């Protein structure tokens, strides 16, 4: 199942920099592991925002929920999820 996920990060301004940097390092490692596994297919930064659009390829809604809630930055995110399916006019046969 494919999902588009928008993640807006809102780290509190009073969070100590060393704490924020440690959380971001864990976030990067976790997200890169998911990218290598193929579950986190794409990630794009949104220009001028601390936000991204990502595409996930997972088995179920529950799996996506588990992945997102395990993100180290999850407590500081606003997340919106959109389920996706292949468009009948698409010339790309490898996205289902």
- In words, the CATH class of domain 2-84 is alpha beta
How does pLDDT run across 5-22, given as a tens digit for each residue?
999 999 999 999 999 999
Alpha-carbon radius of gyration of the chain: 15
Please check whether residue 5 is in contact with residue 68, taking contact to mean a CB–CB distance below 8 angstroms: yes
- pLDDT tens figures, 73-87: 999 999 999 999 888
| Residue-by-residue DSSP string for 14-67 | TS-HHHHHHHHHHHHHHHHHHHHHTSEEEEEEPTTSSEEEEEEE-S-HHHHHHH
- The domain limits of the chain are 2-84
- What's the token pair of residue 71? 């993100």
- The pTM of this model reads 0.90
Cβ atoms of 7 and 82 within 8 Å: the answer is: no
Residue 45, CB-side half-sphere exposure with 13 Å CA sphere: 4
């Amino acid at each position: 199942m494919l999902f588009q996920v928008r993640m807006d990060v809102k780290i509190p301004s009073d969070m100590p920099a060393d704490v924020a940097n440690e959380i971001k390092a864990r976030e990067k490692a976790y997200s890169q592991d998911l990218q290598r596994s193929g579950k986190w297919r794409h990630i794009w930064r949104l220009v001028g925002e601390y936000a991204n659009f990502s595409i996930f390829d997972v088995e179920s809604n529950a799996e996506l929920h588990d992945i997102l809630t395990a993100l180290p930055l999850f407590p500081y995110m606003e997340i919106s999820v959109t389920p996706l399916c292949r468009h009948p006019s698409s010339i790309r046969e490898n996205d289902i």
